[in-house]
Each structure stands twice: as structure tokens, then as C-alpha cells.
Amino acid sequence: MWRAAAPTRTLAEEGRCADTRDCGEERGSRVSAMRVYLGADHAGYELKQAIIEHLSATGHEPVDCGAFSYDADDDYPAFCIAAAEKTVADPGSLGIVLGGSGNGEQIAANKVPGARCALAWSTETASLAREHNNAQLIGIGGRMHTTEEALAIVDAFVTTAWSEAPRHQRRIDILADYEKTHVAPPVPGA
């Protein structure tokens, strides 16, 4: 059975936050080994394989949700939805969806109730997706990055903790409420 490894480093130790209150450091936020669900179509297939190898080598537990072989005619929704469903059903896990640009893959993952998937195109956007949005998944464009760039984005995502800052939680709660009720929040000043 999977268990998170012992904590390794704080966000402040990594230089990710200027103010430890924004990082959740007062609660001792630390980053540990993660289970990571991955889904990719043909455009992200090769990069997914490299990410799986990298995650395993760095002590994480990658779970492949397909594609399981290269097929130039496959469609990303099935793989991305599978990765998102498994991530949402496994609290504390993360997910990565890959395709040509990461855009459609992110959209597909976000169709899963409870999923928060951000398009990550840099280490900073990957870190902020975790810190500010408590994103459980990121979309990465396989045709947009070198393998080295993509692995740096993945590392930033899996080693960054959710800040638990009240202002960020409030915003996530507003979105979760809308997802359940389909009633839009009032527009301030309108």
C-alpha cells in the first residue's frame, strides 16, 4: 500500500515564498513522496514515459492511465478523464495530463467533478497552481517543452505544498459551491 514518505523540505527552504505565512509554514508544510496519476494521448505519450521514469527515480509512485502504446489517432479525453477521476478519488494524490498543448487535456480533466487542473507552462505556474489553487492536476504540452523543461515543471508541481491560506481556500470554496449548485456567485459592485 502506498504511503507518503517522511517530509523532506519546506517551501521557504526552497525559496518558493517570501512570507512563510503565505506558504503555510506555520503549520510545518513539507513536501513528501506522492502518488501521481498520468494520462496522455499520442502527442504526450513519449513525454509521459519520461515523466514516469523520472517520478519513479525520485521516490514518487507514478500510475499510468494510458495511452499504453503510441497511436497517432487516439483521443485525449479518455486518458485525461481517467487520470482526473483517479486523482479525485485518491485524496492526497496528484495528476498530470499531457497532449500537444496541454489545453484540451486540462479542459478534459476539469470536466471531472472535484478536479482542479491547471495548465502549467513554467515551474512558477506549476508551483502557484499548488500553492494558491490547491490544484491536484496539471496539464503539460508535450509539443511545447523539452523533456528537461517538462521534468522541471513536474518537480515544481510535486514538491510544492498547498498554502492553506484563508484567501485561497475562500476562492476554492466559491468554485466548489458553483460546481455543486450552478448558481453563480454575486459580482461585487454589480
CA 51 – CA 188 distance, rounded (Å): 42
Contact 137, 115 (CB under 8 A): yes
Neighbours of 182 (CB within 10 A): 7
pLDDT at site 30: 46
The pTM (predicted TM-score) of the whole model is 0.84
pLDDT at site 32: 82
Please pick, among 132, 149, 164, 168, the residue that the annotation labels catalytic: 132
- Which residue type does 190 have? A
Helix (H, G, I), strand (E, B) or coil at 30: strand
Please pick, among 25, 105, 131, 145, the residue that the annotation labels catalytic: 105
Residue of 127, 139, 150 lying closest to 49 (CA atoms): 150
Q: Is 132 a catalytic residue?
A: yes
Contact 98, 40 (CB under 8 A): yes
pLDDT at site 31: 63
Tell me the CATH architecture of domain 33-181: 3-Layer(aba) Sandwich (3.40)
**pLDDT tens digits along 33-55:** 999 999 999 999 999 999 999 99
**pLDDT tens digits along 1-21:** 333 333 333 334 444 444 333
**H or E segment and range at residue 140:** strand 137-141
CA-CA-CA-CA dihedral for 182, 165, 59, 126, to nearest 10:
70
Point out the residues of the chain with pLDDT beneath 70.
1-31
Domain range summary for the chain, segments of one domain joined by +: 33-181
Q: Is 53 a catalytic residue?
A: no
pLDDT at site 46: 98
